[in-house]
Amino acid sequence: MMNTPFIAPPATLAILGGGQLGRFFVAAAHEMGYTVWVLDPDADSPAGRIADRHLCADYEDRAALDDIAAHCAAVTTEFENVPAAALAFLGQKIPARPSAAAVAICQNRVAEKQFLRDNGFPHGAFAVIRAESDLETADISLFPGILKLARLGYDGKGQAAAESPEAAREAYRALGAEEAVLERRLSLDCEISVVLARNAGGETSVFPLAENRHARGILDVSIVPARIAPALADEAREIAARIAQQLNYVGVLAVEFFVSDGQIFVNEIAPRPHNSGHYTLDACVTNQYEQQTRALCALPLGDARAHSDSVMVNLLGDLWFDENGKFQEPRWERLAAIPALKLHFYGKRAARPGRKMGHFTLLGHGTNSLLAQTDIAREHIGMDGGAE
């Protein structure tokens, strides 16, 4: 292990991105005694509002980047679509963790799929689509499939079903005829994710696996521990750790897997804390944002062990509107009446359908009991039924 100097509080840290993941990072770093700057172009960003300084500028604004390089001890990121060039520029002057090279792979589906293939990690069959003619020559075994844009897709955006070559061509045009990946659709047993932290010395700490259910392409429920065979869980942890090592990754990394016919396939890699890791705020000895701070500052990692089973539920902006589209504040006091429920809001001022506004996590022991309590909690605020 390399001997990397640690960064002690009250040093100033920087984060590129001001959403809810950044907000949780700011809070964790503050608790550990650090000062935090946020770079985000949104003047009302959730993280920017609680940071010690909010640089309201584009991610590639040279003056803002120079300011960070001159005054901050290290920099990290809260989402993968921050320009890798900005991280590369800062990485020449201060520690940038994760590196621009790792982020560049994860923010482009073509590069990500090729990385998985070239390093022997299990993945679904795919083809790179750079022109409509690539769909005409694509292997017929890829259908029915899913067409996904190479860049900027998230929460189900930037992708479309491709039941046949003809449907794929229509979808490709509808997506703007940009670089994409055509993936063969797998029959799913379930979806799981592994969130881990790796520091500059190569120390790796893996959180308990989450079993994830989605609604309209957006994460709805995470169940921890995931209800899969122990051997499969061990394999997922081992693959995620090897991915982090191969990327020479420093920070918090999430690896999403499909479980199909008893086998696991890597779906996506996220170079940041993850929505499915929100449960760590309440259910683990060390949460993913404290781990992000520790990894950024070259500190030993904390204990990732869970002290409770948990079910996490996303709260989307749809909840703030009735069936006629009229604004109504949900009855949060009904959730407050559940003793083992932890409610978190993200500081976003405007609710919009599909927008992640917060989440709640139920803690306890025994998945069946927690899922039954989760259904009751959802009913209390008018949410549809969740995980089975």
CATH of residue 19's domain is: 3.40.50.20
pLDDT, residue 384, reads 76
pLDDT, residue 4, reads 80
pLDDT, residue 180, reads 96
**Average pLDDT in the chain:** 95
pLDDT at 2 over 70: no
The answer to pTM > 0.75 is: yes
Same domain, 168 and 60: no
Last residue of a domain, one of 143, 169, 184: 184
- Please name which of 218, 225, 214, 221 lies closest in space to residue 188, comparing C-alpha atoms: 214
CATH number of residue 265's parent domain: 3.30.470.20
Percent of the chain with pLDDT over 90: 92
pLDDT at 1 over 70: no
Dig out the tokens for 301 from the structure. 């990692």
Last residue of a domain, one of 75, 106, 137: 106
Dig out the tokens for 61 from the structure. 């604004």
pLDDT at 126 over 80: yes
Q: Residue 40 domain-assigned? A: yes
pLDDT at 111 over 70: yes
Dig out the tokens for 30 from the structure. 């503050």
Read off the pLDDT of residues 332-349 as tens digits, 9 standing for 90 and up.
999 999 999 999 999 999
Same domain, 291 and 347: yes
CA distances for 168 relative to 178, 247, 280, angstroms? 13, 32, 39
Q: Residue 366 domain-assigned? A: yes
pLDDT, residue 156, reads 65
Same domain, 224 and 348: yes
CATH number of residue 137's parent domain: 3.30.1490.20
Largest CA distance in the chain: 60
Same domain, 289 and 338: yes
Lowest mean pLDDT among 7-11, 82-86, 270-274, 289-293: 82-86
**Cα torsion angle, 153, 226, 199, 297, sign:** positive
Q: Residue 387 domain-assigned? A: no
Alpha carbon dihedral 312, 318, 324, 330, in 10-degree steps, equals 60
Once rounded to an integer, what is the mean pLDDT over residues 171-191?
A: 95
Lowest mean pLDDT among 97-111, 297-311, 374-388: 374-388
Owning domain of residue 16: 12-106
What span, in angstroms and rounded, lies between the C-alpha atoms of 252 and 235?
19
Same domain, 213 and 308: yes
Residue 214 pLDDT class (50, 70, 90 cuts): very high
What span, in angstroms and rounded, lies between the C-alpha atoms of 22 and 20?
5
Same domain, 217 and 272: yes
Read off the pLDDT of residues 10-36 as tens digits, 9 standing for 90 and up.
999 999 999 999 999 999 999 999 999
Same domain, 351 and 230: yes
HSE toward the beta carbon, residue 361, CA cutoff 13 A:
24
Same domain, 214 and 302: yes
Same domain, 138 and 268: no
Same domain, 175 and 259: no
Number of structural domains (the chain) is 3
What span, in angstroms and rounded, lies between the C-alpha atoms of 170 and 272?
33
Read off the pLDDT of residues 153-164 as tens digits, 9 standing for 90 and up.
666 678 899 999
Same domain, 239 and 339: yes
pLDDT at 387 over 60: no
Same domain, 167 and 262: no
pLDDT, residue 109, reads 96
